[in-house]
Amino acid sequence: MAGAVTDAETTSFLSRAYREHGARIHAALVRRVHDLELAEDALQDASVAALEQWKDERPRDPAAWLVRAAFHKAVDRIRRSRLDATKRAEIEALEEAFDPELSFDPLAEDDRLRLMFLCCHPALPFESQVALTLRTVSCLTTVEIARAFMLPEATMAQRLVRAKQKIRDARIPFRTPDLDETGERIDAVLAVVYLVFGEGYAATGGAALVRDDLCTEALRLARLLVDLVPSSGPAAGLRALLLLTDARRAARVDPAGDLVLLEDQDRSLWNREATARGLAEVERAIHLGPSRHPYTLQAAIAALHARAPSPAETDWRQIVSLYGLLREASPSPVVDMNHAVAVAMVDGARSGLALLDAIGAEGELDGEHLFHAARADLLRREGNLAEARQAYERAAARATNEPERRFLARRIRELG
Amino acid sequence: MQYLLMIYAEESAWGTLSEAEQGKIMSDYGAFTKSIIESKHLVGGNRLQDVSSATTVRVRDGRTTKTHGPFAETREQLGGYYLVEAKDLDEACALAARIPGARHGSVEVRPVASM
């Protein structure tokens, strides 16, 4: 290496290696040491060593270097902490299994999938699955994850530690599930990715409506899953849904940071490339099947919006029938609500309101600002301004993020 | 690694079953137990008598108290257990899912701590 390398350059070289290969590095290590916490600690040791040694010479394959170094640090850690005979045997077995020529082969790709299945194992609480996936597969820091979910860092750290301990103590395996359980297990991984995106796209709290970091991460995870399990229709469906929804990101917030509804969005701001990829992915999802999987149905609905050059040209009839299928595939009051809104676009606000009021009578959505906002909107279109105002006020009282509150306040002002 | 598979069910439900139904469950248990002996998963296991036969013991300040009944009153009661050897949690859960009681009650899977 010619010339001196600054610390800053080395640091950025290291963080680029993590950004590009983090999931593979974690996965390769976990396969070898069977302990997420140990893998993480050892990786930290290896990073410290990298910052020192890479100043003189940078490795050609930094990811493989890190895995190798971290593996030896892990063995050191075991050696230092436990010294009884069984542990010594464990170390010997580990060292024997270690391949010094280690680099990333096609098999290592499977490791990332195993890592995702491990993080989203049904024996872990759902919230821990989400945190662990972001920590281990996405390589976000504990601080970043805590911030994303508006939780104190200590709480998030403890959640991660408990999950890693359960994996180790109950011996949750690092493996690809059997064929007969693959569908169910993929659904669990998809649910985590869906939640990460949902939290990014409509942040439940804070100053910003959209949290780009989480949206981007969810898209990366969805892409990874599609690459790793190309035969999965639901994975393609989820990726399509995220691409098509995310394509509208720039149009969804105005320059002041305020919310812009779908019907008012400047469609020229929609990301054409992402839309095109999303539309192709929907086709693939339908082709792979099941075509009535909830993610594929939601993606098909998003595709109809994406194909409409203007709100007036939207195929609402088709959207109503897709919501009908979605109500069967994954019944929930939120789906009922979206169905009611679509019905209002086809049969008029009055029909939509009748459906919304029936849902409202069940009471499950009373805490949801979106329900009251949808109702307010239909009341306004009906010309029932007094009730519309009340409904907007109920929505405003329940909204938790700033842009949504401002949007609702503006609607109330507009009603006079 | 050893796992304790604890079988919980509503004890009172047993009495409402016909003799034929009870016989079917018992023979299912017999077949399951035989199969995990053959597959070398079984370490031990027993059916327990009803919770009405339970006594809970506590020692406080050197004094032993014995109270009638189980430690906690719950809707489902511990009715039996298997101690099995499995390579990981997935294998243990797969065994748990084959226990006849899992079809109407529930089976808690707990790894045994190494001493």
Q: At what angle do helices B89-98 and B19-38 cross, to 10 degrees?
A: 150
Q: What is the DSSP string of B47-91?
A: EPPPGGG-EEEEEETTEEEEEES-SS--SSEEEEEEEEE-SSHHH
Q: pLDDT by residue (tens digit) across A124-149?
A: 999 999 999 999 988 888 988 888 78
Count other C-beta atoms under 10 Å from residue A127's C-beta: 15
CA distance A169 to chain B (A): 7
Nearest alpha-carbon partner for A329 in A229, A185, A187, A180: A187
Residue A78 has pLDDT above 80, yes or no: yes
Identify the sign of the CA torsion A227, A230, A235, A237: positive
Q: Are A340 and A356 in contact (CB under 8 A)?
A: yes
Q: pLDDT by residue (tens digit) across A380-407?
A: 999 999 999 999 999 999 998 888 899 9
pLDDT band at A3 (very low <50, low <70, confident <90, very high): very low
Q: pLDDT by residue (tens digit) across B25-48?
A: 999 999 999 999 999 999 999 999
Tokens of B91: 């294998």
CA distance B79 to chain A (A): 23
The Cα B17–Cα A266 span in angstroms is 66
Q: Which amino acid is at A271?
A: N
C-alpha distances out from residue A246 to A132, A217, A319, Å: 24, 12, 19
Q: Which amino acid is at A172?
A: I
Cβ within 8 Å, pair B111-A171: yes
The Cα A95–Cα A46 span in angstroms is 17
- Say what the pLDDT of residue A151 is: 87
Cβ within 8 Å, pair A171-B93: no
Most A CBs within 10 Å, among B3, B4, B87, B89, to test the A interface: B89
Q: Domains (ranges, CATH) in chain B?
A: 2-111 (3.30.70.1060)
> If you search the block for the tokens 């489902």, which residue do you land on?
B76
Cβ within 8 Å, pair B111-A173: no
What's the N-to-C CA distance of chain B in angstroms?
12
Cβ within 8 Å, pair A173-B88: yes
Q: pLDDT by residue (tens digit) across A211-264?
A: 788 899 899 999 989 988 899 999 999 999 999 999 999 999 888 888 899 999
The Cα A381–Cα A385 span in angstroms is 9
Residues 43-102 of B with CB under 8 A from A: 87-90, 93
Tokens of A82: 């436990």
Interface confidence: ipTM more than 0.90: no
Tokens of A285: 């999802």
Q: pLDDT by residue (tens digit) across A176-215?
A: 888 778 888 899 999 999 999 988 887 666 666 667 888 9
